[in-house]
Structure 1
Amino acid sequence: MTPDELKRLIGLPRARRAPDVSVVERSEASDHIVERLAFDFGDGRPVRGLLTRPAGAGGPHPAVLYCHAHGNKYAIGASELLVGRPSLIGPYGPLMAKAGFVALSLDMPTFGERADETENALAKALLWRGATLMGLMLADLLAGFDHLAARPDVDATRIATFGLSMGATHAYFLAAIEPRVARAAHLCAYADLESLVETGAHDLHGHYMTVPGLLAATSTGRIAGMVAPRPQLICTGDHDPLTPPDAVDTAYRQTRAAYRAAGAAGALVRLSQPETGHEETPQMRRAVLDFLSAMR
């Protein structure tokens, strides 16, 4: 499957004007700066973006498009970059800025300041209209990527995607369809969906994952394989109901085959945590920071 074929399958909007992006508020801490951004897609509903960057001048810096999680905590959204969430050890934004990265997170549809619309209602409406919530989310994330790539303080050749849970899925799906993504790291959402369907565990995913015909055309393991030969870090917990070991192994065989075919077997890194559920561990955090540091 090609990136264009995957875009069509997901229902990624074909035409969407580049958003106007404005800085609504800026604050400075001792070692980082926080910018609150407004993305105007022309529909009269500005989308909140939160950005952290190193304090002072310098750059261009490597950057991370930070994809926030789901967890049925619709109020968090992009704020996860600054305040974290229960399944994370702590927020990544200030940490990434201190390490020399610019990081950007956008409220996905139905999350954060867009939570006035429910996931169920929006997913149904989009499906009835021949589109998908996944497609809409990825389109917004692509706009965020474009903003990072256009910033003078960012090196457009060193932009990674990263996320946990829903954000993990977004991180490797986006890297699969956008070749400019330099590398992808993701936690706690990588598993073969057909295997999850067989056990009923697929029902733990949100409606944003509903893409008609996805499993008839491809699989999550093959989609992650489309990131090859670019580096990819996969972190899972063996006690996570979203990533049971058998389903992870099935997906990983497919992704590993794609990396081997691309002559990039060493660019694929897997970390499995035998005693962990759906949460970040200290080992995962170290692996993520080490993986991203290769861009510095």
Structure 2
Amino acid sequence: MTARVNAERLRALLGLSGAEPGPAAADPGPVEALGHHLLQRVTLDGDGPIPGLYLRPEGKGPHPAVLYCHAHGNRYETGAEELIHGRPALIAPYGPALADLGIASLAIDLAPFGRRQDEGPEARLAKAGLWQGRPLMGRMLAELHLAYRWLAAQAEVDATRIATLGLSMGGTHAYWLAALEPHIAACAHLCVFADLAPMIATGAHDLHGSYMTVPGLLAHGDMGDVAALIAPRPQFVGLGGTDALTPEAARDPALARLATAYGVGPLVVHLSPDTGHVETPAMRGAVMAFLTRHLQQ
């Protein structure tokens, strides 16, 4: 298969409009203290209200920032709160750790997670989206792009230094959004990167949620080709060697094409050979070093 995937084709497969998006409006709640950092519960104005959490260091900035994409894990009760409370697969929440380094962060609830569970269940949303010509993956990415635009417009944020970050479903969203939005400065994704075609051949793709279905993608490329669109911008790939979502036969071809796209460019691959679908202390250290290096210049 000759990969012909590009951002324009991805938008078409995702059912996303090619029109230039308008301003990102939000209702920011009152500022409250989270340790020595500042936390706001914001509500973005999408097709409906999109709740989120915005955490930033004290001071006027301009601060670098991270658009944090929450995971799945069948924990529908957990959405944007992952930013400040974490989840079992993570060493610790990312929001406070980023703020300690002077990096602001924003996370939003994607349906049907967090405060949007009543919009679900996931299978119902996915089926409706396919019938309507916008896969759930496309809807999620559109909302994350709205969040990115709101974050970039904040006076205390340096819009030229915004990265995406996530684990599992959040990792998929992090690199897909960076592939679609060329102004995202860097991307870090954990415990998810692998091609789908080899997984379909073994049935391993069924471990993924229905949100991830992108009709027709494999006629044009695969996950390795999507992530390659981020090059030459910095990209971090964290993987567990025994992770059932990233089996070697699906992981290695994706990594090979990604390495070809970057050459000697700023690509970091961190493989923990004996761990599964979890962040490790060494992986966390490598992610933080990556974000520090590429956002705090």
1:58 is paired with a residue of what secondary structure?
Answer: coil
The answer to whether the 8 A contact 1:13-1:139 is kept is no
Matches within 5 A, 1:44-63: 45-55=48-58, 57-63=59-65
Equivalent residue for 2:37, pick from 19, 24, 32: 32
Q: How many residues align?
A: 289
Q: How far apart, in 1, do the equivalents of 2:148 and 2:284 lie? A: 23
Q: CA deviation at 1:19?
A: 3.9
**2:211 matched to 1:198?**
no
**2:163 matched to 1:160?**
yes
Equivalent residue for 1:101, pick from 83, 100, 103: 103
Q: Deviations over 1:167-192 (max 9, x none)?
A: 00001000101000100001000001
Q: Deviations over 1:82-105 (max 9, x none)?
A: 100110111111111111001000
Q: How far apart, in 2, do the equivalents of 1:62 and 1:47 lie? A: 23
Any stretches of 5+ residues in structure 1 without a counterpart? none
**2:25 matched to 1:20?**
yes
Q: Deviations over 1:83-133 (max 9, x none)?
A: 001101111111111110010001112111111121100100010111100
Q: How far apart, in 2, do the equivalents of 1:72 and 1:13 lie? A: 29
Normalised TM-score (structure 2)? 0.94
- The amino acid that maps onto 1:47 is I
Aligned to 2:9: 5
- The amino acid that maps onto 2:70 is H
Q: CA deviation at 1:203?
A: 0.2
The answer to whether the 8 A contact 2:6-2:226 is kept is no
RMSD, matched Cα: 1.2
Q: How far apart, in 2, do the equivalents of 1:259 and 1:266 lie? A: 5
The answer to whether the 8 A contact 1:13-1:136 is kept is no
Q: How far apart, in 2, do the equivalents of 1:217 and 1:115 lie? A: 33
1:156 is paired with a residue of what secondary structure?
Answer: strand
**2:226 matched to 1:227?**
no
**2:117 matched to 1:118?**
no
2:12 is paired with a residue of what secondary structure?
Answer: helix
Equivalent residue for 2:242, pick from 239, 242, 250: 239
The answer to whether the 8 A contact 1:107-1:114 is kept is yes
The answer to whether the 8 A contact 2:232-2:265 is kept is no
The answer to whether the 8 A contact 1:241-1:278 is kept is yes
Identity of aligned residues (%): 51
Q: CA deviation at 1:14?
A: 4.4
